[in-house]
Structure 1
Amino acid sequence: CTLLHLPDIIFLDEPTTGVDPLSRQDFWRIIHNLVRERKITILLTTSYMDEAERCHRIALMHEGKILLEERPENISNLEEIFIEKITGQKPKIIDIVKKRDEDKSLMIVCKGVSKLFGSFKAVDKVDLKVEKGEILGLLGPNGAGKTTLIKMMCGLLEPSEGKISILGYDVQKERAKIWNVIGYMSQKFSLYKDLTVLENMKFYAGIYGVKDYNFKEILERLELLEMGDRLVKDLPFGIRQRLALACALLHKPPILFLDEPTSGVDPVARRNFWEIIYQVSRQEGTTVIVSTHYMDEAENCDRLGLMNRGRLIALGTPEEIKKESEKFSGSLLQIKTPYFYKAFELISKEFSEISIYGNKIFIRTFEIENAKEKIKNLFESQKLLSFEIEQILIPLQEAFVDFIKREEALNV
């Protein structure tokens, strides 16, 4: 609809919030085609750092002021610079300590789990095991079945086929026992906006049967102590999400389910949120299942489960997922040149697996050296003498898209 009258300038206000990486890649392909072919000017806002890196220029804003204006390639770590500019301090490094291996007791076991809504199969024969203290990330396109699977594991939906056990309890037969040992933060906002922070926490403590609770302790831990008397409706979104997490943790559950907990949250709030997740996982041994569309968050997980059309199509550490992607889609070449549009036009005629990130061109190939030589000769024949070609590590987003495309091709 925005393009119906063929505008010269387009304003896009967080157009991809809550949108999965595959759909976002399609969206950005359209954006770059419009810029390249019709020379349209686009002003876009986003909370995704990987999206900001696709732009030609970025401006970091906070409280109505532009704090920094620069080209993405001139910034080494965009998220850290963003946090430093807003807080005035270098961001705390999240200590990604590996999960302790001494306790491998199974907390969650799914065997052949399916869920049908009429003739539609939302979840299709999922097998999954999750250990104590593990952080498992669930990724997948919108409608892949992530939320449905989480709701079945929480006992909120009954499986059509298969079995799920939580701490040895049968989800279908012992739901009441399961609800005492899990914390659940839903995709939709679950707090009462007309209650204060403390009133919400007392309400949830009552639901969980928690008595004589030291609310000050958890409020301090989540940096909410000064917010106790404020109405939830008056809080910034990131603070509300922290409060929702605090309510899910009140009864100190050994298993925590988080369904897209940071969607639409700025990088500062997301960093704070993940510090808490690591604390409960590493220090308290809490098992965490989290669904997310943020690839930088997915990198923080111990393992990732990639879902598509209800099926679990990949399961492994982020590094294992990337290496597997490289096996069936090839390595990644990055090309930088000031003659970007001419370079893209030349390369797109010779290579099929090509994508754009800002002023960078990505190519997937199984023959790295041959591809480098071919591009070099191609550029030099057209007098494009200023360029850089290098092999880089495959970003998780590229691996994500690879698996989805392969799965779709296998099921044509």
Structure 2
Amino acid sequence: ITWEIQRREQKSEKLQSFVDLGCGNGLLVHILQSEGHPGLGLDVRKRNIWDLYGDQTKLKEESIIPSAESTFPEFDWLIGNHSDELTPWIPVIAARSSYTCSYFVLPCCHFDFDRKFSQKEANESNYRSYLNFVREVGEVCGFTVQEDTLRIPSTKRVCFIGKTRNYKPEEKDLIDDKIANYINIRSTASSISGTDGNPPAKKQKTGEVWSEGFNPRPSEEKSRNCKSVDSGTVSHIVQTVFDVLLESTDCETRQLEDGRVWRKGGKKALSDVVKLFDKDVLKQLKSECGGLQTLLRNHNSVFNVSGGAVQLRDLTLDEPYSKHSKLAKRDKSQYFKTMQCWFYNNHPDGCPRTAQKCHFAHGEQDVRKEQSDACAQ
């Protein structure tokens, strides 16, 4: 609708061109180009889905470093849809691309020009404080900034549009000085160097990067699945948490059909479980896989993590996984008997299910040979 209104105001039938900075899966680029808008999507990392769109959807793997080389004077609009570290730079790049270049930005993750945003305002939420900052950037860049709330299924729905300027074309150099000083005042490099708030401004025409402290996302996304954590450390953590749950004072028991009594264990708050391990172990987990909670969730056949607490997976239930869980929806026949049962091998009471009913293998002889043969082929 915004683009339709703009065309009516300009009395033009020409469809707006655009660049989507940090385009992610490229779907928005694909939709807009399918509607006839000439455009381009740039992202630091190519997604597999890009190949499905066809050659008519222009997507390019490229790292954007805010500088004179990263302006787009031939395009009408710049789009920042959850553009992460580029979010505050979208208005700057638009302002320095051309006097007629507009922008749309939908802020999500909180980034300043060269670091995470951390200036929470009094009596405001972190989100609102960040929105105020992004709006201020647009105003410093000379835009008349409009705020809107999108009707999308997300908690981050507030967007900003910079469509018109509040200065004359001949005042461009004055605005550029204002932008440069604003960026430098907020930059960590200026803070470290001990400047008095008036560091030398880096204008767009110098060809230098506009912020020495800016770091784009790496082209390869770091794995967060705990596979890089030492296997001995993982085994130690899993066994320690298991022992604590099994020895808990609120330990529950289950009477099995075959006459056995199976101890399900108790329930522990994650905040208490964290205290079981030293800081070095927790620091390694945080850097490699997101933390202790992620590691326990990755061992979902053993643990049930929900509501800030952990307990053992209750395999006495017909469906031990939540109906909303991916495991509950997954076709289990594909994985049937392809992995060893952790409870069978480690629980002092064994697995509560019989070998016939358990989806996991009870011993090497129970591993599904058909799957092994298929993998060998």
User: Which TM-score tier does this pair reach, normalised by the shorter chain?
Assistant: under 0.3
The TM-score, its normalising length taken from structure 1, stands at: 0.23
Question: Normalising to structure 2: TM-score of the pair?
Answer: 0.25
Which has the larger share of strand?
A: 1
Higher RCO (CA < 8 A, seq sep 6+): 1
